[in-house]
Structure 1
Amino acid sequence: MTILRKAARPLLASVFVSGGLRTLRDPDPLTPAAASVALPLAQRVPGLPVDAQRLVRINGALQLGAGLLLATGRLPRISALALAASLVPTTIAGHAWWNAEEPEERARQRLQFTKNLSLFGGLLIAAADTHGKPSLAYRSRAAAASAGRSVRRRASAV
């Protein structure tokens, strides 16, 4: 399973690394579409800049950085969650197929929207991956059960 993780993480991260780099280099093509989602979001979240281009650049930097972390296996769960969170506004702003008027454009945007949903699912799986080790919740339940058995054994011995 380790080989699978070592291959899958960079493959999953590659779209975010290349997209984040492209966005940082040239945010202008994405800024108009992002304004419809970025500005209402910035008004609701204190501290976020109101400038759509700056928000696009921040999103690009987040995707580049978290993509590199995921690809290299450093903080994979946190970076996968960060990428998943950044994918939601990106998908809504960039692939609003329901607003497209031309049938070809509608089909193209629906395909990209669905692709991003697939990436979102993959990121959620990566965020939940514990490298084959039991989760903290499982270990806590097992420790509590073991402690309970130990107490019952000692109580019956008395």
Structure 2
Amino acid sequence: MSPVRTVARLFLSTIFVVSGARSIARPTPWVPRAQKVSEKVGPLFEKASPKLPTDAESLVRIAGAAQVAAGFMLATGRFTRPAALVLAGTLVPTTLVAHPFWTVKDPVERRHQETHFLKNVGLLGGLLMAAADTKGRPGLAWRASHYAGHSRHALEHGRHNLEHGLHSIGQSGQSVRRAAKTARREARIAYRAAAAGRRLPS
């Protein structure tokens, strides 16, 4: 395992573990912002299952728990690609809800929110790179094309063998027909010789 990958994953996951733990312990500061999300996804959760929590505080804690769990997996190198995708999934709504700089009137605050927004966009880029990192092993796309090429080669080889077999069968059939024709001809000759022998005087 590359030391650079290990350090990079550790740095990238730290902010998610810390912010996720804070959201679990003290969700109140995030509730007003999460209310916008809960109003949209709450009805969808209720349709899926009435037992699913739909209030803003529960959603904040669930998102925080997902960030802590996925952050630890990313930091320790376990299931890093799915963990990075989970973190990216929690980061997108958090960024849109927490830092909508385009709605801020005050220039100073707008610049402040824009900085945080771009920071999160940078984190999202890092997570997408981590999700695509195969640690030097062949990726899914390469393996799929490799197996497809191998399958095509096997099919072509099988087709060639089938054609060769059919050709051999055809040649065998011709040999059998020639042998039968020769046998019939020799039988006629023998029959004629036998008939001629019967007609000779004793």
TM-score normalised over the length of structure 1: 0.90
Instruction: Name the aligned partner's letter for residue 33 of structure 2.
Output: A
CA shift for structure 1 position 142:
1.4
Cα separation, 1, equivalents of 2:89 and 2:31: 19
Length-normalised TM-score, structure 2: 0.72
1:97 Cα deviation after fit: 1.0
How far did residue 67 of structure 1 move? 0.5
Offset at residue 35 of structure 1 (A):
0.7
Q: 1:102 aligns with which of 103, 106, 113?
A: 106
CA RMSD, aligned part only? 1.9
Paired residue for 2:20?
Answer: 20
Return the offset for 1:153: 5.3
Residue equivalent to 2:29? 29
5+ residue gaps, structure 1: none
Instruction: Name whichever of 22-31 and 140-149 sits farther off.
Output: 140-149
Aligned counterpart, 1:5 = 5
Q: CA deviation at 1:143?
A: 2.5
Query: Structure 1: how far apart are the matches of 2:141 and 2:102?
Result: 41
Contact 1:37–1:92, Cα closer than 8 Å, also in 2: no
Higher Rg: 2
1:52-90 alpha-carbon deviations (Å, 9 max, x no partner)? 011111111111111111111111011100000011111
Q: How far is the alpha carbon of 1:146 from its aligned partner?
A: 3.0
What secondary structure sits across from 1:113 in the alignment?
A: helix
Task: Check 1:147–1:54 CA distance in 2 against 1; reply closer, same or farther (3 A cut).
Answer: closer
5 Å-filtered alignment, 1:120-131, equals 120-131=124-135
Query: Pairwise mapping of residues 139-150 of structure 1 onto structure 2 (< 5 A)?
Result: 139-150=143-154
Q: Which stretch of the first structure deviates more once superposed, 35-44 or 16-25?
A: 35-44
Q: Which residue of 2 aligns with 1:42?
A: 42
Q: Aligned residue for 2:80? A: 76
Q: CA deviation at 1:144?
A: 2.7
Query: 1:63 and 2:73 equivalent?
Result: no
Shift of 1:151: 4.8
Greater shift in the superposed pair: 103-112 or 45-54: 45-54
Amino acid at match of 1:68: F
**Do the aligned partners of 1:27 and 1:56 also contact (CA within 8 Å) in 2?**
yes
Higher relative contact order (CA 8 A, sep 6+): 1
Cα separation, 2, equivalents of 1:32 and 1:148: 57
Q: How far has the Cα of 1:49 moved from its partner?
A: 2.2
Q: Residue 77 of structure 1 contacts residue 126 of structure 1 at CA under 8 Å; is this kept in 2?
A: yes
Instruction: State the aligned residue count.
Output: 158
CA contact (8 A) 1:12 1:119 kept: yes
5+ unaligned residues in a row in structure 2: which ranges? 165-202
In the alignment, what sits opposite 1:111?
115
| Superposition deviation, residue 114 in structure 1 | 0.8
